[in-house]
Structure 1
């Protein structure tokens, strides 16, 4: 962000918030490589994600599975979600880094962006280690998805950047807050969620502040792009969260299981809970268009 833009959008206030978040990062940050007990083996009778958020809970397929199969499904769903988290945190880092090429290197906002990227790098390591620890394998993007991810850092600017950051962070954050105290959850996974929630709270606050500070000054075209650009996210996330490959790894018919999950009202309820806070914020910020509502509703998040 240029100095002129900082002044026009209340850069002083933004700088103060960035300095406060940097202080918060100093007081409460984690090193997952040492802060999580990677030597502790997974407990055979505990889930890697709570049953309440698994995509097949409540379906006929779920009723036909025994406890060991359900736990295996939770292992594969966790590996899938953490893989998606790695992709989006990678995208956010590359987008922020591209912006810093023209930013003031002495500003607090630049310093906090670098601090946030450091957090995200540690999160990617933590997610990768957790997949390995669970005895699972990461999921890979398809070629067209990799191409889109390569192009997006140049397209995400202004309010659209912060909307994309929130879409990639808040849904996961809301569900993690719901899950981390579940007694059926693997202790290491619960600790991972505690670390992630604590650090993502700062990132979400920074992104939300960025959106609200631009609200009085953003031009019509920026509002149009930011309000409509996330319309595809609902269907995208639905497809990512019901990846047929994870069902196949759990010993199920991948396509049949994905179809069951996508029409599962229990899974839709979990999606809606995860998106509720972000949906309310985007509406308040004037960035939830009719098209976006349609997209999120079609994906099962509204």
Structure 2
């Protein structure tokens, strides 16, 4: 059984939960009717904003002509939605394990909205991948040992990972939802996901801040540094999941592993990555989890 000490819920948190739950009701849509799925999407267009494809900011980008970049953007797009499918599945498992369990009584009503919306997100992302890419890419395994022993640590890490994942994805959604260079279908998928995620992020920040406070009361400083190190490793893993050699292979790149290694090693890529994670990094610094902005190499 997954439990946590009862959250010391403030009036502000209760008001936020009520407001977000009502907004979820007011903004509800049927995803099976909302989307228009054309038979195909043009192959010679951008499928992801060119500033967001993985070689952006590196010397490797200059070695690719525009036709190759556009072809790569298709598979980058399929990989991005594939990451969403797998990320959503994992976060749903964790939230379902906690709904109406001791310690999570207050947020459980919002959990119902969260679970329903995320399940629908997983459906339309998978629908896009299978319709237009014919596949869902598998994610790399996250094999790092987690410092999970105390319930307070376990619960904090679950929702910290969920929050980071949502904030990282939302960076892409916001950009692509407004990018007129992309097809209407791609803009629609990203814009609708951003609308829902804005509620989830507002909720997640409040919950993670609460859980961090509870964790700090139960564990010592050395344990907190273990948690900090784990979350930072998870961030690097998440960023590296965009550098999938399979997408380079599908785009016709001659040596996909060499391209991946070159992109990861290029210092110019760090600036692009920092833009993607700027908001969650600032939040983790604000609540006290991160003592600095450094991330491990790898």
Q: Does 1:278 align with 2:280?
A: yes
Bigger mean CA offset, 116-125 vs 45-54? 45-54
For 1:123, the equivalent position in structure 2 comes to: 121
Contact preservation (8 Å) 1:48, 1:78: yes
Aligned residue for 1:79, secondary structure, equals: helix
For 2:81, the equivalent position in structure 1 comes to: 82
Q: What RMSD over aligned residues (CA atoms) do the two structures have, in Å?
A: 3.1
1:27: Cα distance to partner?
1.4
Distance in 2 between residues matched to 1:57 and 1:3, nearest whole Å: 43
Q: Does 1:69 align with 2:68?
A: yes
Q: Provide Cα deviations, 1:173-198, integer angstroms capped at 9, x if missing partner.
A: 12321232222212211111111110
Q: Does 1:249 align with 2:250?
A: yes
Distance in 2 between residues matched to 1:81 and 1:135, nearest whole Å: 12
Contact preservation (8 Å) 2:4, 2:155: no
For 2:96, the equivalent position in structure 1 comes to: 97
Q: Provide Cα deviations, 1:260-288, integer angstroms capped at 9, x if missing partner.
A: 22134554333111111111111010011
Contact preservation (8 Å) 1:238, 1:262: no
Distance in 2 between residues matched to 1:37 and 1:211, nearest whole Å: 36
1:148: Cα distance to partner?
8.5
Q: TM-score, normalised by structure 2?
A: 0.84
Distance in 2 between residues matched to 1:56 and 1:160, nearest whole Å: 30
Uncovered stretches (5+) of structure 1, i.e. residues with no partner? none
For 1:294, the equivalent position in structure 2 comes to: 295
Aligned residue for 1:294, secondary structure, equals: coil
Q: Does 1:199 align with 2:196?
A: yes
Distance in 2 between residues matched to 1:2 and 1:259, nearest whole Å: 42
Larger proportion of helix: 1
Contact preservation (8 Å) 1:79, 1:136: no
Q: TM-score, normalised by structure 1?
A: 0.83
Number of aligned residue pairs: give it. 290
Distance in 2 between residues matched to 1:175 and 1:18, nearest whole Å: 26
For 2:130, the equivalent position in structure 1 comes to: 132
Distance in 2 between residues matched to 1:112 and 1:146, nearest whole Å: 31
1:59: Cα distance to partner?
4.8
Contact preservation (8 Å) 1:227, 1:286: no
Distance in 2 between residues matched to 1:32 and 1:208, nearest whole Å: 26
Contact preservation (8 Å) 2:177, 2:191: yes
Equivalent positions of 1:1-150 (< 5 A) are 5-6=6-7, 9-10=8-9, 12-39=11-38, 41-57=40-56, 59=58, 61-100=60-99, 102-103=101-102, 107=105, 109-141=107-139, 144-145=141-142
